[in-house]
Amino acid sequence: MTLYLNFRTGGVAGGIVTPYLLEGDGTVNPPAVRALTSWEAEDRVAGKNVLFGVHGFNVNYREGALSFGVLDAHLGLTDSDVFIGVLWPGDWWIPAVNYPFEGGDAMKCGRLLATFCSEYLAQAQSVSFVSHSLGARLVLEALVHLDRRARMVCLLAGAINNDCLLAEYAFANNMADQIFVLASHNDSVLRVAFQIGDPISNILDHDHGFFQKALGYDGPPSPAASPVVHPWQIPDRDNYGHGSYLPPADAARWVRVAGYIGRAFRGQLQPSPGPL
């Protein structure tokens, strides 16, 4: 049984609602989940090390539930841990055309996520986050509005400017014990599409410089200081594209990422050389 934090009003696109917890099986179609009461929500996380997973752009409700339902079983969590998949409306009926508008939605959901943590996770042992793609903006926005430090943050293929931890979200460095990044030069979405869509998004909601590389393509500017953890660049020979990080992508790749996330969450050493 997987926990989900739902921000959505519908299965595709739709508006943003005050988030609430769902519990059930997200691997079936349609997802077999039920909404939890407020006291059930607090009970599920009390005393636990909580790991939130946040999907990226252009992922509908069904796809997000499936991805996190499968990922949950591969993180190696113990009875002291709980994974919560975050389902937010970063998609639209026509793919891609809505990208310039979704940064604002990600930021709004991030602030609501921080409020949820304040209201329901007061008794949690710790809070951590892992994100994919545009989910990085949601996580970093939540991080700077939290009333507690996060134990771990892991940004996979971040569709956000690569100097975000030095400029726009510099305060996030004060709000996390460790920040992990995975980046790949084989990510054609971030190499090409990000360079087209991000400047348009920045015109609508100006919050960073124009025409910068993506965090998930080149990693943060070097040398990166603590709490950012080295290394972050996936070797080119491993051929990680934008969709390689989470299920239902090629299991040979996303299972390695799941292992990386699990080790980061548990505070274990990563294999060397290379992040994976």
Secondary structure class of 94 (helix, strand, coil): coil
Is it the case that residue 7 has pLDDT exceeding 90? yes
Residue 122 or 95, more confident? 122
Is it the case that residue 85 has pLDDT exceeding 50? yes
- In this structure, how many other beta carbons lie within 10 angstroms of the beta carbon of residue 258? 22
Question: Mean pLDDT, to the nearest integer, of 100-123?
Answer: 92
What pLDDT score does 25 carry? Answer: 97
Question: Mean pLDDT, to the nearest integer, of 132-136?
Answer: 97
What pLDDT score does 73 carry? Answer: 96
**What backbone phi and psi angles, to 5 degrees, belong to 88?**
-130, 155
Q: Which CATH number fits domain 2-266: 3.40.50.1820, 3.90.190.20, 3.50.30.40, 3.20.20.20?
A: 3.40.50.1820
What pLDDT score does 194 carry? Answer: 76
What is the average pLDDT score of the chain? 91
Tell me if 113 sits within 8 A of 31, measured CB to CB. Answer: no
What pLDDT score does 97 carry? Answer: 44
Give the position of tokens 């939290």. Answer: 146
Is it the case that residue 101 has pLDDT exceeding 80? no
Lowest mean pLDDT, pick from 80-89, 94-103, 145-154? 94-103
What pLDDT score does 192 carry? Answer: 84
| pTM score | 0.93
Confidence tier at 272 by pLDDT (50, 70, 90):
confident
Question: Mean pLDDT, to the nearest integer, of 134-138?
Answer: 97
Q: What is the pLDDT of residues 219-265, one digit of tens each?
A: 999 889 999 999 999 999 999 999 999 999 999 999 999 999 999 99
- The three-point CA angle 262-153-275 to 5° equals 55
What pLDDT score does 93 carry? Answer: 64
Query: What CA–CA distance (Å, rounded) separates 96 from 233?
Result: 26
Q: What is the pLDDT of residues 180-233, one digit of tens each?
A: 999 999 999 898 867 654 444 443 344 545 557 899 999 999 889 999 999 999
Q: What is the pLDDT of residues 52-77, one digit of tens each?
A: 999 999 999 999 999 999 999 999 99
Domain residue limits, the chain? 2-266
Question: Mean pLDDT, to the nearest integer, of 119-141?
Answer: 97
Residues 6+ apart with CB under 8 A from 154: 128, 129, 130, 131, 179, 180, 181, 182, 260, 261, 264, 265
> In terms of C-beta density within 10 A (0-12 exposed, 13-18 middle, 19 or more buried), how is residue 139 classed?
buried
Question: Mean pLDDT, to the nearest integer, of 11-22?
Answer: 96
Tell me if 239 sits within 8 A of 187, measured CB to CB. Answer: no
The CA–CA distances, whole Å, from 19 to 38, 41, 78 equal 11, 11, 25
What pLDDT score does 183 carry? Answer: 98
